[in-house]
Chain A
Amino acid sequence: MVAMQYYLLLSAAIFCIGVFGVLTRRNALIFLMSVELMLNAANINLVAFSFQYGNLTGQVFALFVMALAAAEVAVGLGIIMVLFRNFADVDVTKATTMRW
């Protein structure tokens, strides 16, 4: 059996890759993809603990998270379209009007 620590480590690694993407990438679409990565890292965690405790709640919850991620992507793409319309670029570092 794969010990629990490795599931957690995997989940942590994928999460941190997602965070890395959020912190460094400039294209808004890639930004959104990194956010998806983070969500899925959480999913791995949920399923792992569902296996640990022998309770299906974690898996069902992961299903719900996936559905939510889909909904969020739909709205997020719409926002990116509006962003492009206002700033003529999908570069997130160009949209800097809400500042001091």
Chain B
Amino acid sequence: MLNETVFLVPTSYFVILSAVLFSIGVAGVLLRRNAILIFMSVELMLNAANLAFVAFARSLLDQGGQVFVFFVMTVAAAEVAIGLALIVAIFRSKRSTDIDELNSMEG
């Protein structure tokens, strides 16, 4: 069932790479204060998942994972639209995209 010639690079490499990308994304969310950069870090997390999906789909010889990637990409695009709109709205009121300035509610 598995076609030997397809597996030039082991799947685990892709998965490790995707885990690294994911971790970078997580770190970005935690460390960045600019809303846009946090947002980009989130996108990086999603794309890390996409990479894992494609890699698994290749090793499983199954299209399901690749289809999922399209869904994730579409959803990410929708998220971008909403996210940027929110950021613009906030920027209009606060003249800043620093996320730490958004702490009027606490406790």
Q: Do A and B bind each other?
A: no
